[in-house]
A and B are shown apart, each in its own frame.
Chain A
């Protein structure tokens, strides 16, 4: 039996083979005594080790061992663990950043839907900054019926080379 075949038997025993290959090896083991003997030996070794580890105990009393750990923690001035809340805040922050960008665009869109002059203004051109985010600028030219919106956010994981510009007419 060559070495690769031996390793394949081991992989079969360890449940590391895909189902089809495992079936083939099972048939091979059933008809080949040499393969069956090797599998049996590997099984015996596994069986001998089972449970061996569970019996090992730390040979020091709870108090003595803890006193050493505690002293070392204090000596190193190890930082107290961060409260779990910090993790939630970080997750919330990850959600809020893109959400605020979306909110800015929605606000800009709502403002664009307003009829020019409906607020009583008679200015021919207007430049404003969206309240929710100073990175969005709106330029309106009522006489030309043109509105320009500058969104200066870079996309995630991307450096903005130029500001995005959308035109609504």
Chain B
């Protein structure tokens, strides 16, 4: 148990960061992190060092977050069609940004803006972005994790990136007014 405590201490920030980036809620992210560590303990016998321990734990938290987000979605009774509508073409019409909306921002400020912008994305779009940018997953792997096609992953990623760029530009414009 002492050795496991050490592992928790070493990887707890990484596990929490993943939960937070997906859930956008501090309390929920802490609860899910705790659940992930309990599951990690229960399944320790299944860890065969095919990946690093940190990566293995990250997969556990990702799956827990996905389950939780699906529950949220069911509760909100959002339909897949509604989500598709949301992303159906909007990003194609957005004008391409010519000015970098993050230029000149301090680290803390940039972090705050990204945080805000990520919070405005739907969970499917945020998830695609998180898994690709933070977990370095390939399209195929994201599709498998999220249970959708590679084409859907590409569309979601594209929408998420373009929307994020637009949101960051919007925040910049609001600040300069």
Contacts and interface: CB of A to CB of B under 8 A. Distances in A.
Interface residues of A, number: 43
B26 interface: yes
Interface stretch (A65-73, A96-104, A129-137, A151-159): A65-73
A48 interface: yes
Contacts of B164: 45, 48-49
Dominant SS among interface residues on chain B? helix
Interface in B1-41: 1, 5, 8-9, 12-13, 15-18, 20-21, 26, 30, 33-35, 37-38, 41
Interface string A48-81: 1110111111111010011011101100101101
B157 interface: yes
A41 B21 CA distance: 22
Nearest to A44: B100
Interface of B: 1, 5, 8-9, 12-13, 15-18, 20-21, 26, 30, 33-35, 37-38, 41-42, 44-45, 48, 92, 96-98, 100-102, 110-111, 114, 129, 132-134, 138-139, 154-155, 157-158, 161-162, 164-165, 168
Nearest to B135: A53
A16 B136 CA distance: 12
A70 B9 CA distance: 13
Contact of A16 (B15, B20, B138): B138
Contacts of B138: 16
Interface in A1-59: 3, 6-7, 10-11, 14, 16, 34, 37-38, 41-42, 44-50, 52-59
A77 to B, nearest CB: 10
A86 interface: yes
Given A10-B158, A16-B138, A66-B5, A72 B34 contact: yes
A87 interface: yes
A78 B92 CA distance: 50
Given A38-B96, A53-B17, A56-B16, 16 more contacts: A10-B157, A16-B139, A41-B96, A42-B162, A42-B165, A47-B102, A48-B168, A49-B133, A52-B110, A53-B21, A53-B133, A56-B13, A66-B5, A68-B34, A69-B34, A70-B1
